[in-house]
Amino acid sequence: MSSGRYSGFRLLREAMAGHQGWRRAWHPAEAKPHYRIAIIGGGGHGLASAYHLAKTYGIRDIAVLEQGAIGQGNLGRNTTIVRSNYFTAPNIRFYDAALQGWERFEQELNFNAMVSQRGTLNLIHTEGQRDLFARRANAMALEGVDAEYVDPAGVKALVPLVELTNARYPVLGGFLQRRGGTVRHDAVGWAYARAASDLGVDIVEHTGVIGITPGHPITLSTTAGPVTAERVLLAVAGHSSTLAAMAGFRLPIETYALQAFVTESVKPVLDLVVTYGGGHFYASQSDKGGIVFGGATDGHNSYAQRGSWPQVEETMTAGLTLMPALSRLKVLRQWAGVMDMSMDGSPIVSDTPVPHLYLSTGWCYGGFKAIPAGGLVAAHLVATGTPHPLAEHFRLGRFRAGAQIDERGAGPYPWAH
Amino acid sequence: MLRIPCPHCGVADEAEFRYRGDASVTRPPADAGVDAFHDYVFLRDNPAGWHLEWWQHAHGCRATFQVKRHTVSHVIAWSGWPGEAPP
Amino acid sequence: MTGRRLTRAARIDPAQPLSFQFDGRAFQGVAGDTLASALLAAGERVVGRSFKLHRPRGIVTAGPEEPNALVELGEGGFREPNVPATIVELAEGLVARSQNRWPSLRFDLMAIAGWFAPLLPAGFYYKTFTWPAVSWETLYEPAIRRAAGLGRVAELPDPDRYDVRHRFCDVLVIGAGAAGLAAAARSVAAGARTILLDQDFDTGGGTLLDPAWDPWRAARLAAVSDCLLARTTAIAGFDHGVVAAVERRVGGQRLHLIRTERIVLATGAVERLPAFPGNDRPGVMLAGAARSYLNRFAVAVGERVALFAGNDEAYLAAFDLVAAGVDVLAIIDPRPTAAPMAAARDAGITVFADAAVVATKGRTLGQITVRLSGGQRRDIGVDTLLVSAGYSPQVQVASQARVPLVWRPAIAGYGLAPDPRWQAAGAAAGVFGLSAAAADGDRVAGEVLASLGRASAPGALPDPAPSPAGVAIFEVTAPGKAFVDLQHDVTADDLRLAVREGYSHVEHAKRYTTHGMGTDQGKIGGLTGSAVLAAARGLDLGAVGLPRMRPYTVGTRWGALAGADVGVAFKPERRLPLHRWHQAHGAVFVKIGLWLRPLVYSATGDTSWGSVLDEARAVRQAVGVTDVSSLGKIDVQGPDAGVFLDRVYANTFSTLAVGRARYGLMLREDGFVFDDGTTSRLGPDHFVITTTTQKADEVLLHLEWHLATVWPDLRVSLASVADHWAQFALAGPRAREVLAPLVDIDLAPAAFPFMAAGAAVIAGVQGRIFRISFSGELAYEVAVPARQAEPVWQALVDGGARPYGLDALNVLRVEKGHCTGAELNGQTTAADLGLQRMLKKSGDFIGGTLSTRPALEAADRLQLVGLRPVDPDRRIRGGAQLVCPGATASIGYVTSTVMSAELGGWLALGLVAGGRARIGERIVAASPVYGEWVEVTITSPHAIDPDNTRVHA
């Protein structure tokens, strides 16, 4: 049964009925023995892929197999930032397609995920950084994507909290993408699950995959018994290597913990997303009033959804160096997600050595913003067997060919990306 | 904060060390070809479990050594010099 | 006025009055008060407004778990939002304000939200505000953002000071109540290095509420005085026995980062809020809190009191209040019978068994409605209702450190699973009652010490008393708003709505309703909410569980987590050996990574191109000297040093003659360029290599790692000598003229040709001279021990060399076509940079194999070229993209751009697709972000002296 359309009118009507009339946002399904397509992983990319397969490619015989409850991996653990500021044209095109997907999200999915294009501001602190970020902004502008330079006075006007001159690295200016911003992360998974479920996709929670037997169909051993599928998509973020091992191959992926933090709620003080160029730090203020912020990964392989102290210290000191007036603000929580860090810092949406088994992985710590386009290109790949034009450069074979997409030039070291 | 057992200096804070990745991969001979080097540089077991890895005591004795650590529990079972095998 | 101060012995000093302000009104408390106890003593009932519906709220707890009584403290830079009044140690002159109300606490216009409450169930915002599409950011969201949030952040610098103390111990005891004091005393007596933390400003936990325990506590405190950290809260547990704790000090806070072998968790338990309609009305308070206010602060929280609880320990509050002369009108207990009911009746209290409170009335509490055993209802006029739904052991710190939790139905709470490092004691382990807790703390300490191989003797314990028992209640189902999260206005109905809509997993329910996401972390209502979920889902409470526990146990100031390394101290600042000389001679410094380096020398601070080009021209036309001491320098020694260098560089060094230098290119194993520099052979088994400043640390690590793990058989030793040697580049046609008189070696071209290297005495200092050139001129790099650098530098300057800075150096190297980090950006290959001839054709070296992958040898790769504006007056912007005329597709980008000293006008280096084959072509340097499009001509990257005649002069 469909969850029914959401609207202000419906809210009013349900309020008069004591809110007893709301139905499940997505229908809980049990795994059937066979599907045309099985998607392993009920996170942002898995659910968006299911939605696009059903909506865009007309395939409804789909299961999303999630070992726990949907959206409890990195989808529920990120800092909710969306943007499309990349250096290379193929990446700009892909991530801007995602940003355009966010712009359509609420109307398309009839779910308010609070897509808020508040702007993302990347601060610069050296002349070298000015040139580097200008290069990125110029590349974006050439692709028709919005990017603008902001001088120090403009930075102060946009983010009064930023300390311009006294910090270790003075602020020389910044580059602003006005269309960047934040999206309420949890709502994204709920919205895709609801839309996919309404289209007939089985959202199968609490069903883990414990074995993959290649063949045609592919047989998945699950905690609820065997499931066969004509085609299978792995969309399990940090756990990609574990699933690939079940299917008999290795990936250019290492799994790292990335921490995030939120403060207590305060009245609005930070209108846009700001990133610090003198250290690894980014922050925004949620609609609820908490400052949500994060930094770099913990820097070593980890499947533990918790972080280590050195990165806490690094993130906290960077944040206060940038915005010293937040010193007395209380930090409420820190948590960590486990990231599928690829060897070049870029995603892998690809076929695999196992026929009919496809991958959407390597999103590193930029997977959230990519979800609308990531779902589309993965759905295209699984439905057609060929890469989507926006994602041809994300194929697995690039490592053997030497066509790494190393935007930072950090080399094949996951801890450096 | 991981507490890393340097075989030379003893246990110290993670912040004193630099991580250098999977210690189970071995550099192929020079003539092994692109595929072998591709596997060496890029492909990883990346286990959710026991992991043999390199650490360098960058702010200590600068030794490079192996650590056997569990990537879920972070329990460290062993550390030893290059070439040694964990029990 | 309902609360009042009693005259009775307590933990306050009535002889020391303290004045303070709340919402602009003057109050008086006494030493030993918290802000909350002083406000209660003054009869204040409404102290805050809730987050969503702006309902009036009173004080509910006596500790950091307080959801309601959040105040803004202090003025100016001291302003701090959302501080629980229940933990604020009262001080003379303290200023506090209520929050989240406008215009005042008493009359809050935002409470209009309450009228719309039926339209604002959990998650309402996900279902609306989507029309029209653009209206979210412009209309709805700004209104929501203004309404949300509680207090305000300070807008001025924080005057407090923060620092970090690193600590080590054998046994860490968290919490100094009966269990913690017993455990710490035994640990100290056994000689173990012990640290005892207590969050309160008055140490003793529950023992502070019973004067009979004073002597026992005093003896324990004396025994542990050296290891006690009071006012210190354990905020987070990490792996490997690391615990972070924050100490509140005069003038600031200190973070203690504690490494310990064992932890005794004696953090006690937090009383739970039962869910029943109207449970948020000011005047409803946890029973244990009322007992604290009475026994510790001599405050009677009400005049006419009732108790609604289903556990025996809660009765203590009623008994103590009766003993203090307060009217306790009724005890409402959902249990049919319970041990203390008889005693309650003996004390003259009416006990309603098998009953429940189903409604409350009044702006502040004036009346409760009780559903009696038979179903009939009775209204009772009370000003205060004490409530208790049992106690949750405080196990967060251990759970954060991944100690598994075990559901214990007997106490309807979580305990710790057996763990080699963490063990709970006392109420934190579900052992309630002071005597039982003390005994448990002593026992656990004994076990912990034994596990460390230490013998210990049992400590002295008070006479055993029976441990109070009782099951807990969670929800009374009756019409009305029954809150499970007071701060966020989450009701039991909200949770049931979440379940109806499928958000029934505890993490989904939390995120959908915001249950437990407030500053209080949902401590008092967390399990209550889980119980509602469990009932709605038809599951056992244990099967529903709690959301995952994460740091921090209490909201912790950002400043305390950051410590002292903020602002200018965020990163260390590295200075060149001659920093003071440069400073004294007008250097304008630039921050590059950690380094401060002279950008240009200018007495007036002028950093314009005029000053830079003057310096650069001095080098081209006469002679200049620049400080390159920040370069990485690595000493490579041993019989296999040459072999090692052959493997780590793309070119060959084993054939280099002693006394000669060679440019070296280092690849990563994936075939891309890693770093470059010059390597000199000082002896058969002795090389010294230089790295770029930026990669100095990385290169050393890279070499050490390969030597240790890949080629451990090579007899080579590596040592960084970066800080030991100051190094100066003396460059220009007159360089030899300046240097020759100062040295003890023959600098004639035949004797010391280009790329010669060797030891020499320079201006009386034993050092080294390398005839290498980054500028493209006749040049020598002079290296001398860092502490003897100044006379040598001064001699060069006195000899006529003009000091030049990083900008001039950049001009010179761009003119010459030499690369720096802008070109060695981790994405370029040797061939991209025109250095393909340097790659060895045979032999093993890092990156050799993978540099042959097809995409690294493609013809359309971006290749290094020079770029000159067609109109020499046009500027080529840094960061410009390169496009074909009339096109917008990028074919490359500008990497470095300068004004040329020798050629005039702008000159740039860039990377262009297939660039070497396009020399002479006109393209466009596009900076759309600056609105600039400049036509440029592709040239060779070597704009001056392409045949290298000058360096050989």
pLDDT tens for residues C43-65? 999 999 988 888 999 999 999 99
Using DSSP, state whether C743 is helix, strand or coil. Answer: strand
How many Cβ atoms sit within 10 Å of the Cβ of residue C451? 13
Same domain for C687 and C780? yes
Phi, psi of C50 (to 5 degrees): -75, 165
Those chains having 3 or more beta-carbon pairs within 8 angstroms of chain B are A, C
Start-to-end CA distance of chain A, whole Å, equals 45
- Check if the beta carbon of residue C302 is closer than 8 Å to that of residue C381: no
Query: Average of pLDDT values for C692-696?
Result: 96
Rounded distance between C-alpha atoms, residue C348 and residue C293, angstroms: 22
Cβ of residue B44 closer than 8 Å to a chain A Cβ: yes
Asked whether residue C383 falls in the same domain as residue C436, the answer is no
CA–CA distance from C898 to each of C692, C892, C902 (Å)?
20, 18, 11
pLDDT of residue C117: 83
Q: Is A302 within 8 Å of chain B by CB? A: yes
CATH number of B3-22+39-80: 3.30.2270.10
> Is C669 in Cβ contact with B74 (below 8 Å)?
no
Tell me how far apart the alpha carbons of residues C141 and A63 are, in angstroms, rounded to a whole number: 35
Joined together, the tokens standing for residue C242 give 């690391």
The answer to whether residues C262 and C166 belong to one domain is yes
Within a domain: residue C818? Answer: no
A250 interfacial to chain C (CB closer than 8 Å) = no
Q: What is the C-alpha separation between C518 and C61, in angstroms, rounded?
A: 15
Q: What is the CATH number of the domain that holds C870?
A: 2.40.30.110
Give the list of residues 6+ apart from residue C139 with CB closer than 8 angstroms, or none.
none
Decide if A186 contacts A112 (C-beta within 8 A): no
Alpha carbons A308 and A85: distance in angstroms, whole number = 29
Please state which CATH class domain A26-77+185-252+344-416 belongs to.
alpha beta
Instruction: Give the DSSP letter string of C625-667.
Output: EEE-TTSEEEEEESTTHHHHHHHHSSS--TTPPTTBEEEEEEE
Residue with token string 């314990």 = C461
Query: Is C378 in the same domain as C242?
Result: no
* Residues comprising chain C, all counted: 953
Beta bridge partners of C595: C574, C592
Q: What angle do CA A245, A251, A255 make, to 5 degrees?
A: 90
Does the beta-carbon distance from B64 to C670 stay under 8 Å?
no
Distance from CA of A321 to the nearest CA of C (A): 4
User: B33 and chain A: CB distance < 8 Å anywhere?
Assistant: no
| Substitution target from A254, A298, A300 for chain B, most B beta carbons within 10 A | A300
Helix runs in C729-858, H state only? 735-739, 789-798, 806-816
CA–CA–CA angle C338, C344, C349 (5° rounding): 125
Cβ of residue A309 closer than 8 Å to a chain B Cβ: yes
Residue for token pair 């995603």: A347
C-alpha C55/C-alpha C105 separation (Å) is: 10
Residues of chain B found within 8 Å of residue A336, distances taken between Cβ atoms: none
End-to-end CA distance of chain B: 25
CB atoms within 10 A of CB C320: 17
> Where residue C702 sits, what CATH number does that domain have?
3.30.1360.120
Q: Enumerate residues 6+ apart whose C-beta is below 8 A from C826.
A: A406, A408, A409, A410, A411, C668, C672, C673, C674
Measured between CA atoms, how close is B25 to chain A, in angstroms? Answer: 13
Quote the pLDDT of residue A1: 65
Cβ neighbours of B54 in C, within 8 Å: 705, 709
- Structure tokens given for A190: 């709920």
Residue C578 lies in a domain: no
Residue B34 C-alpha, separation from nearest chain C C-alpha, in angstroms: 6
Chains adjacent to A (≥3 CB pairs closer than 8 angstroms): B, C
Q: What is the Cα–Cα distance from C796 to C810, expressed in whole angstroms?
A: 21
E-strand ranges in A196-252 read 202-204, 209-213, 218-222, 225-234
- Is B43 near chain A, with CB under 8 Å? yes
Quick check: B1 and A253 CB within 8 A?
no
CB C743 within 8 A of CB C761: yes
- Express each pLDDT in C762-806 by its tens digit: 999 999 999 999 999 999 999 999 999 999 999 999 999 999 999
Minimal Cβ distance to C145: which of A111, A268, A317: A268
Question: Predicted confidence band at C13 (pLDDT cuts at 50, 70, 90)?
Answer: very high
Peptide bond into C552 cis (omega under 30): yes
Q: What distance lies between CA A154 and its chain's CA centroid?
A: 29
Q: Do A343 and B41 touch (CB under 8 A)?
A: yes
C4 in the same domain as C100:
yes
Contact C308, C511 (CB under 8 A): no
From residue C220, give the alpha-carbon distance in Å to each of A142, C187, C215, C728: 73, 11, 9, 66
C949 pLDDT above the threshold of 60:
yes
Residue C154's pLDDT is 87
Q: Which amino acid is at C248?
A: R
Q: How far apart are CA A62 and CA A37, in angstroms?
A: 5
A245 close to B (CB below 8 A) = yes
- Which 189-208 residues of chain A touch chain C by CB within 8 A? 190-191, 205
Could you tell me where in chain A the CATH 3.30.9.10 domains are found?
117-179+254-342
Q: Are residues C136 and C197 in the same domain?
A: no
The percent of residues in chain C predicted with pLDDT above 70, rounded, is 99
- First-to-last alpha carbon distance for chain C, in angstroms, is 97
Half-sphere exposure of A124 (CA within 13 A, CB side): 23
The Cα–Cα gap between C370 and C348 comes to 19
Mode of pairing for the β-strands spanning B76-80 and B64-70? antiparallel
- Measured CA to CA, the distance from residue C458 to residue C436 in angstroms comes to 14
Domain boundary among C812, C833, C848: C812
- Is residue C589 in a domain? no
- What is the extent of the structural domain holding C866? 859-953
* B 12-31 → C contacts, CB under 8 A: 13, 18, 20, 23, 27, 29-30
- Please say which residue of C136, C156, C176 terminates a domain: C156
Residue B1 at interface with chain C, using a CB cutoff of 8 Å: yes
Strand, coil or helix: A108: helix
Distance in angstroms (rounded) separating the CA atoms of residues B83 and C710? 10
User: What per-residue string of b and e applies to C503-542 under the rule 16 or more CB within 10 Å gives b?
Assistant: bbbbbbbbbbbbbbbbbbbbbbbbbbbbbbbbbbbeeebe
A117-179+254-342, what's its fold? Answer: D-Amino Acid Oxidase; Chain A, domain 2 (3.30.9)
Of C791, C812, C833, which marks where a domain is finished?
A: C812
B82 contacts C259? CB cut-off 8 A: no
Chain-wide mean pLDDT for chain C? 95
Query: Domain for residue C835, yes or no?
Result: no
Please check the confidence at residue C1 and state whether its pLDDT lies above 60. Answer: no
Distance of CA C432 to the CA centre of its chain: 36
Residue C886: CB partners within 8 Å, gap ≥ 6? none
CA gap C527, C533 in Å, rounded = 10
Give me the DSSP letters along C220-277. Answer: HHHHHGGGEETTEEEEEEEGGGEEEEEEEETTEEEEEEEEEEEEEE---EEEPPPB-B
C395-445 tens-digit pLDDT = 999 999 999 999 998 888 999 999 999 999 999 999 999 999 999 999 999
| Residue C920 to residue C943: CA distance in whole angstroms | 13
Per-residue pLDDT averaged across C896-917, rounded? 96
pLDDT at C469: 66
Least confident of C111-125, C601-615, C691-705: C111-125
Task: List the single residue in B with minimal CA-CA distance to C670.
Answer: B41
Question: Quick count: other Cβ atoms within 10 Å of Cβ C339?
Answer: 13
Enclosing H/E stretch for A322: helix A309-322
Q: Which amino acid is at C582?
A: H
Residues C255 and C401 occupy one common structural domain: yes
Contacts of B27 in chain C (CB under 8 A): 669, 710
Give the residue ranges of chain A where pLDDT is below 50. Answer: none
- Whole-angstrom Cα distance, residue C449 to residue A33? 55
Alpha-carbon distances, residue C788 vs C577, C724, C735, C738, C785 (angstroms): 9, 10, 21, 19, 5
Contact B65, B81 (CB under 8 A): yes
> In this complex, which chains have at least 3 CB pairs below 8 Å with chain C?
A, B
Residue C470 banded pLDDT, cuts 50, 70, 90: low
**Sequence-distant (≥ 6) Cβ neighbours of residue C18 within 8 angstroms:** C28, C29, C30, C31, C33, C38, C90, C91, C92, C94
- Residue A412: which of B42, B72, B73 has the nearest Cβ? B42
Q: Rounded to the nearest 10 degrees, what angle do helices A127-142 and A89-109 cross at?
A: 60
With an 8 Å Cβ cutoff, is B10 touching chain A?
no
Cβ-based contacts of C512 with chain A (< 8 Å): 186, 190
**Domain boundaries of chain B, sorted by first residue:** 3-22+39-80
In the prediction, which pLDDT does C115 show?
78
Compute the distance between CA of residue B20 and CA of residue A415 in angstroms, rounded to an integer. Answer: 8
What pLDDT score does C613 carry? 97
What is the number of domains present in chain C?
A: 6
CA distance C145 to chain A (A): 5
Q: Dihedral of CA B56/A281/A135/A412: which sign? A: positive
Q: Indicate if C26 and C100 belong to the same structural domain.
A: yes
Contact C241 B56 (CB under 8 A): no
Please list the residue range(s) of chain A that carry CATH number 3.50.50.60. 26-77+185-252+344-416
Measured between alpha carbons, how far is residue C879 from residues A307, A338, C723, C894, C933 in Å? Answer: 36, 34, 33, 6, 12
